[in-house]
Copies of this chain bind each other. A is one copy, B any other.
Amino acid sequence: MTEFTDVLGRSAIAVERVLDDLLPKDDRPEARLMDAMRHATLGGGKRIRPFMVLSSARLFNVAETCALRAAAAVEMVHCYSLVHDDLPAMDDDELRRGQPTCHVAFDEATAILAGDALVTRAFEVLADPATHSDPAVRCDLVAELSRAIGADGMVGGQMLDLVAEQHALEMPEVTRLQRMKTGMLIAFACESGAILGKAADPVRHALHAYAHDLGLAFQIADDLLDVEGDEKEVGKKTGKDQGAGKATFVSLMGVERARGQARMLTDQAIQHLDLFAEKADPLRDLARFVIERRT
């Protein structure tokens, strides 16, 4: 795993550089907005979703410069979702990646706008010819991302999460919630390489199936960290779900069964990669890393 952590770390540095380029500092009167966007996006995070984009793109020999732009767009969307989720009206979090959250470092209005501008910038980046020479590919990226993060995807999942505070959810509902809230963006990250590489449908479906299982394993691992993780190490508040009385995979299954389920899902995810042979090793390593991570 140490070797993989290095691989992931190098990838994160490359992604950081592209994000820094795509969100350039300015000194205009509205600079506070870009400062907030940069605060929310730069200087932290394992960049797991961008790694998915880059690793899936390599399966199809997509040019690295193109893949890095798509990876940056996915990370911008992830960061926008965190900024809005952290707002006082939502989860009211003050700590993220060991730093004050956007509305704490700036203010609520700026945080709302920074999130808005980040998701918009993500679509702008994807639609730009620099991301792919074929407009059909760029359009496909925009269409799939918007589906993954809209009312039937990530934002709908966040709504479900809020609704869930009033109802006790059962396992199928928790599964659906998590697939929408975190799984669909992860699926897009894994499939975007296939879109960039104009891969045939069966190949795309294999990556989707991988992402589907990995996304749930990822969420279970996150729930486990919330219960067992150390706040300083994790870089955000832990014990939150329990405190809020939220139904999670861990609260419904218990720690041991949840850990077993995450392992099973990871094995299943890895099996979907068989058709890529050793070219998919980074995605296999990622799957193992996800359930073993301590932060």
Kindly provide the distance from the CB of A182 to the nearest chain B CB, expressed in whole angstroms. Answer: 15
**CB of A13 within 8 Å of the partner chain:** no
Residues of B within 8 A of A198 (CB): none
Residues of B within 8 Å of A123, CB to CB, are 123, 142, 146
| Structural contact, B124 and A159, CB atoms closer than 8 A | no
A87 nearest CB neighbor, chain B only: B112
For the complex, give the distance between the alpha carbons of A164 and B174 in Å.
Answer: 44
Instruction: Look across to chain B and name the residue whose beta carbon is closest to the beta carbon of A136.
Output: B135
Number of copies: 2
A127-B146 contact given A120-B119, A160-B29, CB 8 Å threshold: yes
Are the C-beta atoms of A116 and B113 separated by less than 8 Å?
A: no
**Interface stretch among A31-39, A232-240, A264-272?**
A31-39
Q: A164 to chain B: closest CB distance in Å? A: 8
Kindly state the separation between the CA atoms of A48 and B245 in the bound complex, as whole angstroms.
47
In the bound assembly, the distance between CA atoms of A150 and B118 in angstroms comes to: 8
A167 to chain B: closest residue by CB: B29
Cα–Cα distance between A162 and B31 once the two chains are bound (Å): 12
- A173 at the B interface (CB under 8 A): yes
Q: Which residues of the other chain, B, contact A14 by a CB distance below 8 angstroms?
A: none
| CB-contacts of A150-186 with B (<8 A) | 150-151, 155-160, 162-163, 167, 173, 180
B-contacting residues, A10-56, CB 8 Å: 29-30, 32-34, 37
Given pairs A89-B108, A142-B142, 5 additional interface contacts (CB within 8 A): A109-B162, A117-B150, A117-B156, A121-B146, A126-B142
Q: Which 3 A-B pairs have the closest CB atoms?
A: A124-B146, A89-B108, A120-B150
